Amino acid sequence: MSKVKFKREQRTVKPIKTFKRGEYVDPKTGELVERYSIEIENKDADFHKLWLWHIAAALELIGNQKIRILSYILENTREDNLFVGTQQMIGEATETSRQTVTLTMNMLKEADIIKMQHSGAYFINPEVIFKGTNNKRLEVLYQYHAPKQKKPKGK
Judged against a pLDDT cut of 90, whether residue 88 lies above it is answered with: yes
Whole-number pLDDT of residue 137: 77
Quote the CA–CA distance of 136 and 140 in Å, as a whole number. 6
Radius of gyration of the chain (CA): 23
Q: How far apart are CA 21 and CA 145, in angstroms?
A: 39
**16 pLDDT exceeds 80?**
no
3-state secondary structure the chain: CCCCCCCCCCCCEEEEEEEEEEEEECCCCCCEEEEEEEEEEEEECCCCCCCHHHHHHHHHCCCCHHHHHHHHHHHCECCCCEEECCHHHHHHHHCCCHHHHHHHHHHHHHCCCEEEEECCEEEECCCCCCCCCHHHHHHHHHHHHCCCCCCCCCC
Confidence of residue 36 (pLDDT cuts 50, 70, 90): confident
Lowest mean pLDDT among 28-37, 40-49, 55-64, 126-135: 55-64
Q: Which amino acid is at 155?
A: K
* Residue 126, pLDDT score: 83
CA distance linking residue 145 with residue 51, whole number of Å: 25
pTM summary value: 0.55
Q: What is the pLDDT of residue 128?
A: 78
> What is the pLDDT, as a whole number, of residue 85?
94
Picking from 52, 96, 60, 48, the residue whose alpha carbon sits closest to that of residue 105 is: 96
Q: Is residue 10 predicted with pLDDT exceeding 90?
A: no
pLDDT exceeds cutoff 60 at 107? yes
CATH 1.10.10.10 domain extents, the chain: 52-145
For the chain, the straight-line distance linking the first and the last C-alpha, in angstroms and rounded, comes to: 41
Task: Classify 111 in phi/psi space as left (phi over 0), alpha (psi -120 to 50) or beta.
Answer: alpha
Give the pLDDT score at 89. Answer: 95
pLDDT higher than 60, residue 60? no
The fraction of the chain above a pLDDT of 70, given in percent, is 70
Q: Do 74 and 129 contact (CB within 8 A), yes or no?
A: yes
What percent of the chain clears pLDDT 90, i.e. is strictly above it?
17
CATH class of the region 52-145: mainly alpha
Residue 141 scores a pLDDT above 90? no
Residue 7: pLDDT above 60? no
Question: What pLDDT, on a 0 to 100 scale, did the predictor assign at position 154?
Answer: 58
